[in-house]
Structure 1
Amino acid sequence: MSLLEVSDLRVSFRTADGEVQAVRGVSFDLEPGRTLGIVGESGSGKSVCTQTLLGLTTGAKVTGSARFEGEDLLTMTEDELCSVRGARIAAIFQDPLSSLHPLYRVGWQIVEMIQAHEPVSRAVARRRAIDLLGSVGIPHPAQRIDDYPHQFSGGMRQRALIAMALALEPKLVIADEPTTALDATVQAQILDLLLRLQQEHGMALIMITHDLGVIAGLADEVMVMYAGRAAERADRRGLYYRAHHPYTNGLLESIPASSGAGARLRPIPGQPPSLIRLPSGCAFHPRCAFAMDRCRTEQPELAVVEESPRHTSACWLPPDLLGTNEQVKEDRRAASAAGRGGVVEEGAA
């Protein structure tokens, strides 16, 4: 049974320039103890999608459903959501310096959250906070618990946020770009820590990132988002080795190769579209090297491209064209130009 089932989630905001369609019909599910990676460029809707589950998109128009342990998060009152946030679903945000209050000691903030949800004494909550800080790798936690956030390094602040997220042993943790502000060494340490803690606590994890390389060793499944919609979803191996959507391939080619010192990266040309004025048809077609006439007029829905494991892609390219190597790319160009809809545009996928 799924822990979380999101169906046809749509989120929009009214602005002076028009309606921003931030999330456009996203559906996914997540089983207990599993990790879902949600990947996409800035503006793809990945953060809005998960923040909406926690009731953090104030002023947005929201439709669809998001059933967590059988209860629809989108129909809960604010009081009901307060009982869910932290206790059953926890969040780790991108910038720990802005997530932690600068005027309160780190330990005080963890203790306050524990006492907000559980009827325990301050002494008991403090002992638990010390244990949590130690479990996430904070040295000398009994002394550092009374430090202020500015006295912690960036990596230590992120560890403190992870400790706070785990304080009430939630069933689901949403990690929104938790390593973006960290250097590569600390980033690897934080990812290893999340993996270890997930295995120890059995929690489900949603990992949001713009970098497919970040979740290469972490996610069980990956959903790639573009312009507020799911472009592709597959298990980790299927997505990394047999990607189908040109946008997914573009993200993969943007990852620096550890063995390719001096090699040129292949950035995706152009910019993501405005979510106020979306292009007709497939939103990715202005940047796609394989765009056909059909792509400019008809919006593709997620369809199965591999049955086992289940692998879906929202692209008009034939399902048999899977993979990221250069030969497959040449095959795609030839197939598209040979009669599957029109002339292939120049550029890299």
Structure 2
Amino acid sequence: MALLEVRDLRVSFDTPDGAVRAVRGLSFDVEAGQTLAVVGESGSGKSVATQTITGLTRGAQVSGTAFFDGTDLISADQATLRRLRGAQIGMIFQDPLSSLHPHYRIGWQIVEMIRAHDREISKQAARRRAAELLTLVGIPRAAERIDDYPHQFSGGMRQRVMIAMAMALDPALLIADEPTTALDVTVQAQVLNVMRRLQDQFGTAIILITHDLGVVAEMADEVVVMYAGSAMERAPRRDIFYRNHHPYTQGLLASLPARSSERLTPIPGSPPSLISLPPGCPFATRCPHVFDKCRAEAPPLIDVGGDPRHQSACWLPHDLSEAIAS
């Protein structure tokens, strides 16, 4: 049994214009000690899916299951979710400055988070733990900087503080939502190294939400490619990069810069409205291989080449040699 098993997750929001179907039938597993990357364009449902799992999309209509270590997070009450968040499920959000309170010192915020889940630990012991964590994630002079405010840290350092806070109680699962966005390449590499080192040390499972395929290549074991709220392809990392099947996955990879002298190959068009999705495959309006069946019937996830670990939601032949020939 996987550490986290999500099945047929559906999330929608009522708006004056109609229901936004943000996540539509998403399923995936996360194994202990492994990294699952969830990739796709902005608005594909990546963040909504993980926030729903942790009970952070109040007011949404939610169905499906998400069993974490035997507990269904979707049907769990708020007291159970508060107990699990932080202690068993750590979270790193995209913008650390908006996640850290500007009026309180870094050390105080980490101490309060630790003591919220363990009231038996003294403030002094929690403070020592906070300093150890800041040292662990590479904050220089952590014993001194523990009393600094968030604005006194750079973007990369604030992200490290968020990682330290998320790892404070050695959670079994870490959800990292665009943890390297807006960071320069050097700082991005440092943050990823911190996450990888902590994973090796504590055996933490990671869900990494990103649109950066370079980060995926460096960090992921398994990959889910999302588009318009659904999984288009799900496979081990090497299959996504070297044996991919879905035209959307191929489009994402083709849009990466290969050599500085080459022009980028963008995916034409734009994603469909999640309020009024067209019939058939949601990618049909942008797909270079579209045919009549694509516009009429939405394809299910089907094993590629007979491998249950590699699935694609596409009507093209699922034998890769036949798909290439067609």
Same fold per superposition (TM over 0.5): yes
When structure 1 is superposed on structure 2, of 309-318 and 33-42 the one drifting more is 309-318
Paired residues of 1:211 and 1:251 also in contact (CA < 8 A)? no
Aligned pair 1:133/2:134, yes or no?
A: yes
Paired residues of 2:175 and 2:208 also in contact (CA < 8 A)? yes
Paired residues of 1:242 and 1:322 also in contact (CA < 8 A)? no
Show the counterpart of 1:242. Answer: 243
Deviation at 1:211, TM superposition (A): 1.9
Secondary structure, aligned partner of 1:120: coil
Paired residues of 2:40 and 2:225 also in contact (CA < 8 A)? yes
| Alignment-mate amino acid for residue 105 of structure 2 | R
Deviation at 1:308, TM superposition (A): 4.2
Secondary structure, aligned partner of 2:113: helix
Q: Which runs of 5+ in 1 are unaligned?
A: 336-349
Show the counterpart of 1:41. Answer: 41
Show the counterpart of 1:157. Answer: 158
Deviation at 1:307, TM superposition (A): 3.1
**1:42-191 → structure 2 map (5 Å cutoff):** 42-118=42-118, 119-191=120-192
**Distance of 2:308 and 2:255 partners within structure 1:** 25
Secondary structure, aligned partner of 1:214: helix
Secondary structure, aligned partner of 2:217: coil
Show the counterpart of 1:318. Answer: 317
Paired residues of 1:94 and 1:181 also in contact (CA < 8 A)? no
Deviations 1:178-206 (A, max 9, x none): 00121111111111211111011100000
Q: CA RMSD in A?
A: 1.3
Paired residues of 1:235 and 1:309 also in contact (CA < 8 A)? no
Deviation at 1:154, TM superposition (A): 0.5
Percentage of pairs with the same residue: 65
Show the counterpart of 1:265. Answer: 264
Q: Which runs of 5+ in 2 are unaligned?
A: none
**Distance of 2:291 and 2:193 partners within structure 1:** 42
Secondary structure, aligned partner of 2:74: helix
Give the TM-score normalised by the residue count of structure 2: 0.97
**Distance of 1:206 and 1:288 partners within structure 2:** 28
**Distance of 1:79 and 1:319 partners within structure 2:** 45
Show the counterpart of 2:274. Answer: 275
Deviation at 1:309, TM superposition (A): 6.8
Deviation at 1:306, TM superposition (A): 2.7
Secondary structure, aligned partner of 2:157: helix
Secondary structure, aligned partner of 2:86: coil
Deviation at 1:215, TM superposition (A): 1.3
Show the counterpart of 1:9. Answer: 9
Paired residues of 2:106 and 2:146 also in contact (CA < 8 A)? yes
Show the counterpart of 1:253. Answer: 254
Paired residues of 1:211 and 1:255 also in contact (CA < 8 A)? no
Deviation at 1:310, TM superposition (A): 2.2
